[in-house]
Amino acid sequence: MGQMSMRLDKWLFFARFFKTRTLAARIVTAGGVRINGTRVSKPSANVGEGDTLTFAQGRAIRVIKVVSLGERRGPAPEAQTLYEDHSPQAKRSPDNPRFDKGGRPTKKDRREMDRDVEF
């Protein structure tokens, strides 16, 4: 029979949202995590199945529903079974403009670019 609840920092670590449990605890302590809409500042707060977590990860806001608590920090496919991702999908910015040809311009290309520039 599994646990009914688990420490928040431990679950975030098991689900691979943060690289270390210490980093997860630091984010929680800073007040950056909400459980079911309530701001939490203690890494020892309990999280259980069915809870919804909201937190920032990088520039994205993550909205996660806890499906399972897990027993270890396993590989990524195993970690993805612990939650459902309900995060809003941010609009992707267009890709950076790229040089039409691959890589570095050739000597001929540089001469043509220099010819186009007038001093």
Residue 44 has pLDDT above 80, yes or no: yes
pLDDT digit string (tens) for 71-112? 999 899 999 999 998 888 766 666 665 556 567 888 988 888
Residue 42 has pLDDT above 90, yes or no: yes
CATH of the domain at 64: 3.10.290.10
Would you list the DSSP string of the chain? ---S-EEHHHHHHHTTSSSSHHHHHHHHHTT-EEETTEEE--TT-EE-TT-EEEEEETTEEEEEEE----SS---HHHHGGGEEE-PPPPPPPPPPP--SSSSSPPHHHHHHHHHH---
- Please give the tally of structural domains in the chain: 1
Prediction pTM value = 0.71
Is 61 domain-assigned?
yes
The parent domain of residue 25 ranges over 6-89
Is 31 domain-assigned?
yes
Which percentage of the chain shows pLDDT scores above 90?
Answer: 53
